[in-house]
Structure 1
């Protein structure tokens, strides 16, 4: 056991070093806004940490009514690899139990993201290894990512067409890109926290260079750079039927600096959920959810604050989740 913990500590610090920002520009990963309902999107170490095999479908339209506003969709699935089968009823939105039958979690997902003339479509395959630590479990995760990055040049608008570079007329610039996500995740019955790095090797371009509006090197393109996340949350019982879940998320990169989100949700018998939160320098969130046996539905509404985006351009997100397989303790 001591030897195993020694290996875990060594891997932990290796991941910590790899997660340090590697310079250049960066921006928050487009799927980070989905984390409230699906932490797996921002941390591969979450794979296999829940009591069942969740299949989640999510769509988010940011700043509805704003031309060219960001839009994202995702489909994810992950599960613990178990050696015994037992049947349990799902435990609602939390599903943070432990599993004594296996240490390996596997999963993957598909994502699509677009804003203006830029779009990304890709997949990730996730692996996590879980060990017991105190009253909870610690997992280390790694996920290779492949995605296609596209710039639709026909959407470019120039104030003086006579100065237009012929290389920017029509067509689509495409690059196939490989990257890696990594993370650490601790979870118990009443607590969870983690640290992760998305696009940690700053997007290795596999086939060609991309035209950049700022005439920068493709590696200086903020869409293709590393983002780092740290989060923590817990469950506070209130009487027999209610739980309060406070969460905090810190997001860092060189391009936008350090930002933070604070949210609180109220669970009723693990079947109904309502909550609200604040995103630093971004806006306010309001969300709700309901579960019917193995089906859950969540809705999130965001209002921007500040001068960057007028507050009439609200954001909307819907997630539908299915508890597949055989939930385990």
Structure 2
């Protein structure tokens, strides 16, 4: 029975389409949680403007690199808006995008608030086929130019916070484009 289940799981894994690394990889989430959760927009009494840079495998040509600039602000006592732009590069692949966020903050107690946020984003995915190193030349599917596609998306988040604690939950890529 165990062998049948393992075989069945392997077959299912092979016939389903897999997608990964659709979103940029960031480090230091504690320093800029807004990149992950739109409900954090307007959760502080100042305007945090942040620049984020991440370079993997330093010294290796065409290694993954991600750069972003973000900011958000409180509007009145209960709302927040924010946005960020980014570029994510890995060899012949480049993703560039922008996101705008809106959050509403509900007061649950004397020091506890719940932020609910929604963001709309737009990404441009580019593949520079001239940088590909192919085993066989002459494939008609490869144009050796730059293929570009534009993808809209949306994210939702919840952020519970107080003076000495916080917890958040975010759902990204609500609009699934392939």
TM normalised by structure 2 equals 0.84
Which deviations, in whole Å up to 9, do the C-alpha atoms of 1:172-201 show, x marking residues without a partner? 000111000111111111111111122121
- SS state at 1:36 partner: helix
Aligned residue pairs: how many?
161
Q: Which residue of 1 aligns with 2:80?
A: 105
Report the counterpart of residue 70 of structure 1 in structure 2: 64
- Name structure 2 gaps, 5 residues minimum: 1-15
Partner of residue 140, structure 2: 166
Following the alignment from structure 2 to structure 1, what is the Cα–Cα distance between the partners of residues 17 and 161? 33
The equivalent of 2:174 in structure 1 is: 200
CA drift at 1:24: 5.2
* 1:41 aligns with one of 32, 35, 43: 35
2:17 and 2:29 mapped to 1: Cα distance?
25
On the 8 A contact 2:83/2:100 being kept in 1, the answer is: yes
Indicate the residue corresponding to 1:136 in structure 2. 112
The answer for the alignment partner of 1:81 in structure 2 is: 75
Query: In structure 2, what is the Cα distance between the partners aligned to 1:174 and 1:34?
Result: 30
Shift of 1:51: 2.0
Does residue 25 in structure 1 map to residue 23 in structure 2? Answer: no
**Contact between 1:34 and 1:41, CA under 8 Å: does it hold in 2?**
no
Deviation of 1:35 after TM superposition, in Å, equals: 1.8
Match of 1:56 in 2: 50
Match of 1:185 among 155, 159, 163: 159
Report how far residue 34 of structure 1 moved. 4.6
Gaps of 5+ in 1: 1-22, 83-101, 204-218, 220-329
Post-superposition CA distance 1:1-47 (Å, at most 9, x none) = xxxxxxxxxxxxxxxxxxxxxx9534352144352320000010000
**Looking at both structures, which has the greater relative contact order when contacts are Cα pairs under 8 Å and sequence separation is at least 6?**
1
Aligned equivalents of 1:78, 1:26: Cα separation in 2: 30
Residue 170 of structure 1 deviates from its aligned partner by 1.5
Whole-Å separation in 1 of the counterparts to 2:113 and 2:25 = 25
Do the aligned residues in 2 keep the contact of 1:32 with 1:42 (CA within 8 Å)? no
Measure, in 2, the Cα distance between the counterparts of 1:171 and 1:54.
Answer: 39
CA RMSD of aligned residues (A): 1.7
Partner of 2:5: none
Corresponding residue SS for 1:53:
coil
For residues 150-165 of structure 1, the aligned pairs below 5 Å read 150-161=126-137, 164-165=138-139
**1:31–1:42 Cα contact (<8 Å) kept:** no
